[in-house]
Amino acid sequence: MTGSPTTIFLATSAGLFRYQGGTIALLGAEQEPITALAPLPGGRVAAATRGGSLLRAEPDGSVTRLPPAPGDEPLLSLVCVARAGRGVLLLASTAGGRLLESADLGETFHRAAAPALARPAPLRLVGVPGRPRSALLVAESGGGWLASELPGPFEPWFGALEAPILQLVAHPVEIELWLARTASGVVRSTDELHDENVRKAEEAAAAKARDLAAKHD
């Protein structure tokens, strides 16, 4: 068989590991929890540690320690998105509610415009399957925003849930649906048609109740 062997990068509580050729090896000297991991062009990955370190790993296992992102708070998520005709953009979110962006694969980060929150809260970024220039931004305090064409703005996507969202992923089969891990369990999104049908049913029931009440008056 020809071609490169399967390479899988693993973000663990003991550092960044690589699986290749049937073996798993620690990459670099950092042996602290990895808080964020994102694939980069060329088979590379960017990884952030709980202590604030930012790493870039190459397919051959070599690791470059990058300058830390602005601020003293750890990065909670990393997402690499395409920019039409202009390479890629690496986005990062923090535990204090800041959004950062890098146009040079993590060498330098700059503050990016983020939705206004009532109070600082952890932010998490999620890539959108099939839409390489899009990303979702979720606030742990509630609410989500979608940037459909980065580096464009994040627009409101959904309101606050009853419990904080801790993780958001696309459904493995139906990519139009999303699964969210919250403090009280796992919830799933509903499609617009379902929401519209529910709204119409509720309005019809309310109108019927008003008619019945009017007949008894």
Tens of pLDDT, residue by residue over 84-107, are: 667 899 999 998 889 999 999 999
Q: How many domains does the chain have?
A: 1
Average pLDDT of the chain is: 81
- pLDDT at residue 63, as a whole number: 92
194 pLDDT band, cuts 50/70/90, is very low
Residue 41 included in any domain? no
Mean pLDDT of 70-78: 86
- pLDDT at residue 197, as a whole number: 42
- pLDDT at residue 186, as a whole number: 82
Please say if the pLDDT value at position 187 is more than 50: yes
Which of 19-28, 59-68, 72-81, 141-150 bottoms out in mean pLDDT, i.e. has the lowest? 141-150
Mean pLDDT of 9-25: 91
Residue 179 included in any domain? no
Domain residue limits at 133:
67-161
Determine the number of helices (DSSP H) and then strands (DSSP E) in the chain: 1, 18
Residue with the bigger pLDDT between 196 and 118: it is 118
Residue 40 included in any domain? no
Whether the full predicted model's pTM is greater than 0.85, yes or no, is no
Contact 75, 54 (CB under 8 A): yes
Cis link prior to 172 (omega < 30° from 0)?
Answer: no
Residue 16 included in any domain? no
CA–CA dist 188, 141 (Å, integer) = 18
- pLDDT at residue 108, as a whole number: 93
Mean pLDDT of 72-89: 86
Residue 78 included in any domain? yes
Residue 135 included in any domain? yes
Please say if the pLDDT value at position 200 is more than 60: no
The three-state secondary structure class of 207 is helix
